[in-house]
Every structure is written in C-alpha cells, then in structure tokens.
Homo-oligomer: A and B are copies of this chain.
Amino acid sequence: MLSPKARRLTQLLARLPGVGEKTAQRYLLYLLTSGTEVARELGEELARLPETLRPCVRCGNIAEVEHPNEDAVCAICRDGKRDGHLLCVVARVHDLVAIERAGSMRGRYFVLGKLLSPLEGIGPEELPLAQLVARIREDDVREIIVATPPSVDGEATALLLKRELGRELGDSALTVTRIASGVPHGGDLEFADPITMGRALSGRQKL
C-alpha cells in the first residue's frame, strides 16, 4: 500500500513506545499533509539529539551537552541550592520528572535505569549499586529516599537497596526511607484495591 520510503519511515516511527503500525502511519500522514516545516524541524532536532542531550553522568537525568567531549551534568546536579545530603533514588527519568512536578523535593536524584525483575531476568548485578554507593560516599548523603514504584518489582528493588546499602555503609549514619503508599489524593476509599487499602492502614501516621 505504502511506498518503500513511506514504509521505512513508518517502521522507524513504530519503534516509539506504544506506537503500532497504524499510529505510525497516522503520524506520517499528518507530517506529510501539515506542511513541510514540522517534519523538517522535528527531524533536525531528533538527528541532533545525541549531540544535544545525554544522560547526566552523576544521576542519570537528562542533561544538556555543553562541550561535546566533556561529561554532561544536569541542571539539578549543578544547582547549588539543592541539599546534597538528601538523595532520591528513582527507577526512571519519568519518575524524577513526576517528583519534580510536585515541587517538594529539595535534594538530588539517582536514576537506577531499571528495577529488579526476576520475571524479566534482571538481577541485582544489573543495577548500578556500586555507582550509588560511590555517590553516597562522595556527597556524604545522610538520607536515601527510595522512590521506586509501589509495584512488585519496585518493592523488591527497595528491599534490595535497603539490604545492600546497609551492608556497604552499615557503619555510617545513613537513613534509608521509602515513599508512602496508600489511597491517592482525591481517591475514593470505595474504589481502592485491597493492597492499596492495606498499605493505607499499615502506613497510618499519628494525627
């Protein structure tokens, strides 16, 4: 149906997460019919992406590349007003963005990049634990907030971090905390699933 070049571009677009062949075709047809500027601008920015943005060498967040041959450091790691003794460990950059949106985190971050997942064959050796320990020692971190998601893999990763950090840094004054899990703001108790409700109860705090 589509010409070879159109098919090739559709296949490339279909590599985006959650995009199938039909959506990719829709994107392509939009780009073809919406004037040439959108496609060209987007294309040029994407082609330049590896030179403009890179993972932050300290935390894994997105960082702008200042000098092509130097390691990139993100805005949060460069921000002198952040509390360097407070480090929030997240699974993905998406989670970091969500936490930053809340606006109440005054420390810095460490992006694991993946979660422990026996089902997907991801073991402890694939997590950047050595880098995390090095970062904690270097910045003299006092508190680690484990903000992995409250899923099976996220909880397993949190427990692993607690154990490994205890073993590596047992003699230090490091506190490892975990974000709260419970009924979300605006959520209806009636529709909370049993696990969430159980967590809301067991995680109760004095008023």
Q: Which residues of B contact A74 (CB under 8 A)?
A: 3
Listed stretches A28-36, A119-127, A198-206; interface member? A28-36
Looking at chain A's contact residues, is the secondary structure mostly helix, strand, loop, or mixed?
A: helix
| Contact between chains at B49 and A47 (CB < 8 Å) | no
A48 touching B53 in the complex, CB below 8 Å, given contacts A17-B27, A38-B15, A75-B3: no
| Contact between chains at B39 and A43 (CB < 8 Å) | no
Q: Which residues of B contact A1 (CB under 8 A)?
A: 97, 100-101
Considering the chains assembled together, what is the distance between the CA atoms of A13 and B55 in angstroms? 20
Q: Which residues of B contact A32 (CB under 8 A)?
A: 49, 53-55, 62, 93
| Contact between chains at B94 and A9 (CB < 8 Å) | no
Closest to A50 in B: B36
